[in-house]
Amino acid sequence: MSSAAVPSTSRAWSRAFADLTGGWGQRELWGHLGWQDIKQRYRRSVLGPIWITISMAVTAIALGILYAGLFGNDLSVQLPYILVGFIVWAFISGCILEGAEVFIANEGLMKHLPAPLSVHVYRLIWRQTLLFAHNLLVYVIMLAIFPQPLSWTILAALPAVALLALNGAWVALLFGMVTARFRDLAPITQSLVQLMFFMTPIVWIYDDLLNSPNPTIAERARLAEFNPFLHFIEIVRRPLLGQDLLLRQWVIVLVITVVGWLLTLVVLRRYRSRVTYWV
């Protein structure tokens, strides 16, 4: 029995990896579908996906003015901090929320178009990347109004965004499979993401609380280090704002990336063949 289980397990692992590589090999398919998703959503709109950018910019400006007054910060400091935080958070939350329903939303396509599961995940990540690129237009405009002390470290934003996409892929794949089986997890995920928005330093500046003259506030602010979203946002935001890079944040993100993909591969190996029936 033991010898029979070995090839079965080996085949399961090979099929899991084949799903990922096979999906990547169909880049023309999911690249076209991801682009069409955006075009279809704004088919009759003059500005298209720029509306998302405008909406995000208006919200960031309003919150920047509000929190700059509440915390006594200069608007040239508070607004860029919030704006870049919003851009990164839009990508992260999009991968989580849409990832939780990635297979449910593509039920018809999955049943009529034989393709690896990863195709739908790659399509989602590509769509979020396109929206992220659109939102960077606000960042460029912000730099013209509030110049930042940029240096060569801005190049670190490129591998940081790549890490976001890599993590977004395993999150969408894992959450998508689990939610396909347990549908109640979708609204739970939405509530948790909304909660984490307020618990993550997106509109409030973490360093200000950490350096507060009140030792109690400074001590409590350190609890934010246990929030993994802090590190994912900071590895992108700090280079885009010309701030020094922190090694510990990159290490934490890399560890989460490895652990997340290992867990996802285990689930993919075991339940990949059942997802089509679950949806």
Is 6 inside a domain boundary?
no
Residue with tokens 């720029």: 50
Alpha-carbon gap, residue 20 to 4, rounded angstroms: 25
Q: What is the pLDDT of residues 12-63, one digit of tens each?
A: 788 888 889 999 988 888 998 888 888 777 776 656 667 777 888 888 889 8
Query: Burial level of 119, CB count in 10 A (0-12/13-18/19+)?
Result: buried
> Among 41-45, 83-87, 94-98, 264-268, which stretch is predicted with the lowest mean pLDDT?
41-45
pTM of the model: 0.90
Domain hosting residue 260, numbered range: 12-39+48-278
Is 5 inside a domain boundary?
no
Q: How much is the pLDDT for 191?
A: 94
Q: What is the mean pLDDT of the segment spanning 104-120? A: 84
Is 103 inside a domain boundary?
yes
Q: What is the pLDDT of residues 63-92, one digit of tens each?
A: 889 888 888 889 988 999 999 999 999 999
Closest CA to 121 of 22, 53, 250, 263: 22
Is 4 inside a domain boundary?
no
**E strand or H helix at 106:** none
Band of pLDDT at residue 263, cut at 50, 70 and 90: very high
Is 139 inside a domain boundary?
yes
Q: Mention every residue, 6+ apart, whose C-beta is less than 8 A from residue 201.
A: 85, 224, 230, 233
Handedness of CA 237, 55, 36, 93 (dihedral sign): positive
Domain count within the chain:
1
pLDDT at 4 over 50: no
Alpha-carbon gap, residue 66 to 170, rounded angstroms: 36
C-alpha distances (whole Å) from 89 to each of 27, 74, 220 are 26, 23, 23
Closest CA to 135 of 176, 101, 164: 164
Mean pLDDT, the chain, rounded, equals 88
Is 3 inside a domain boundary?
no
pLDDT at 99 over 80: yes
**Token representation of residue 152:** 């060569």
Q: What is the pLDDT of residues 131-174, one digit of tens each?
A: 899 889 889 999 999 999 988 999 999 999 999 999 999 999 99
Is 2 inside a domain boundary?
no
pLDDT at 237 over 90: yes
Looking at 146-226, list the stretches that DSSP marks H as alpha helix, in order from N- to C-terminal side. Answer: 157-181, 185-199, 206-210, 215-221
